[in-house]
Amino acid sequence: MLKRLVLVVLLVGIFMPRQAFGQQYFKQVVPTDAVKYAIPLCPLTFGGNLRNAQNKLRDGHEDKNAEKRANALDESMQILLGALSTDQGNSAAAWYLLARNYLVRGDLAGADSAFTKVEQMQPDCDLDTQQYRQNAWMMLANAGITKQQEEDNDSTLILLRAATRIFRGLPHVFENLGILFANNGMVDSAAFYFRQALDVSRTDSTLITNRNSSALNLALMNQRLGKHEEAIATLREFLQWNENDTDARRSLAYSFREAGMVDSATVIENSLVRDFATMNLDSLSFIDLMAVGVTQFNADRYDEAAEIFTKLMMRNPWSRDAVYNLANTLLALKDMVRLTEVSKQLIEIEPMNEDAYRLLGQGYRERSQDSLVATAERLVGLPIHVEITGFQIGSTSRIEGIATGREANDPTGAIKPPTALTLVFEFLDESGGVVASREIDVPALAPTEEHALQTEAAAPG
């Protein structure tokens, strides 16, 4: 019997539409009608040709005729580019007007570059330039959200990424982009945007919720990338802000273990279990209660472990881990009557898993010779052994495993040749009802030969 039982680690993802790339002219920030020209709020001087450029920019905002507005913007642009290429390259006023011209055209890259020049040359203009940046950011972000609601996912990503080009002072768009990339499997990009969101919100007391969610999401992305040392650093920082957060402590223990820091992981896991053990067991989540049961089993407290695994099996009779752990605990207690019944349920869940038949055989060993023989015949007759290696729950649930060929015998002891077969995977709801069924064809496998298994099903509705 294996001493170490299965400790469930459940990662729930949100599945989002595919990611898109591209550039377009961002008319969301371009006025469609004449609008009032706003005078600069910072101390800039517009003399000579810059006064003319400003007047043309005003006409580009306020003229009732759309064609005249466009022509005025072109004339203003020509004046400004000429001035900047000659004697006014270091004029904050020229760069400011250029940024405003770019922005009203929807040229975000040009506006960002020109506003940056102004902010470097004239720090007193920050309030003014940041206002224009944030207004454009808000319009693009809102347009992106609208496109997302319309399921126009290409435009959603284009608009949100454009928003981050013009303004980077708030975390919300960074977070949305992180989620979109994460759920499209582009984990590197997701980590980049969650890092941006965290950096922006880390020191702002009004953005604590964004800071916390960004930190946890960044840690999760680094875990998926196998960058556990980076995940550890982020989770440690998060726990300085939220020292009793159970999910973060569990996640930190996971990264410690994956990084080879087993002692550190064990300290956290033991601390978690001690906390859980003082609570009403019925109030614990499935995964937390499982952790308590595993700890009790590994401490040879089999009666307590059996009670906990029984509770888990009652919550979900189709949880493989709960049923498997309870069967092993009953074997340790030598409760063969219950072991027999629980092992039968395990075979219902995993009919091609040889461990389930061995546990059932142990239950029958001291009770029924005929049933023991029948179980042994089923075990030796298995053509393959199926081990589930991964199961992810979400709006789309995914299961992965490995089928390994076995030397199968018929009841007379004769070796049966390998044969191809079809496995049926049923996805169940909490009541045990079948919500989806998938078939996987497995070729004839020689003994020890392996074949990867993978399938998925979307949740109904």
pLDDT band at residue 375, thresholds of 50, 70 and 90? low
Domains, in order of start, for the chain: 20-165 (1.25.40), 169-268 (1.25.40.10), 279-380 (1.25.40.10), 383-461 (no CATH)
pTM score, whole prediction: 0.67
Q: pLDDT tens digit string along 392-405?
A: 776 678 888 898 88
Contacts of 369-377 spanning 24+ positions with Cβ under 8 A: 377/411
Give the helix/strand (H/E) hosting 336. helix 336-349
Query: How far apart, in Å, are the Cα atoms of 84 and each of 48, 102, 179?
Result: 13, 15, 41
pLDDT of residue 11: 30
Quote the CA–CA distance of 74 and 63 in Å, as a whole number: 14
First to last CA, the chain: 42
Report the interhelical angle of 92-105 vs 66-85 (nearest 10°).
150
Q: pLDDT tens digit string along 287-333?
A: 889 988 988 898 899 999 999 999 999 999 989 999 999 999 999 99
Quote the CA–CA distance of 289 and 313 in Å, as a whole number: 11
pLDDT of residue 299: 83
Average pLDDT of every residue of the chain: 85
User: What is the rounded average pLDDT of the residues 1-11?
Assistant: 33
pLDDT band at residue 372, thresholds of 50, 70 and 90? low
Torsion of the alpha carbons at 256, 216, 166 and 170, rounded to the nearest 10: -130
pLDDT of residue 6: 36
* DSSP bridge pairs for 154: none
Q: pLDDT tens digit string along 152-205?
A: 888 889 999 999 999 999 999 999 999 989 988 899 999 999 999 999 999 899
Torsion of the alpha carbons at 280, 282, 284 and 286, rounded to the nearest 10: 150
Quote the CA–CA distance of 291 and 8 in Å, as a whole number: 8
- CA torsion through residues 242, 248, 253, 255, sign: negative
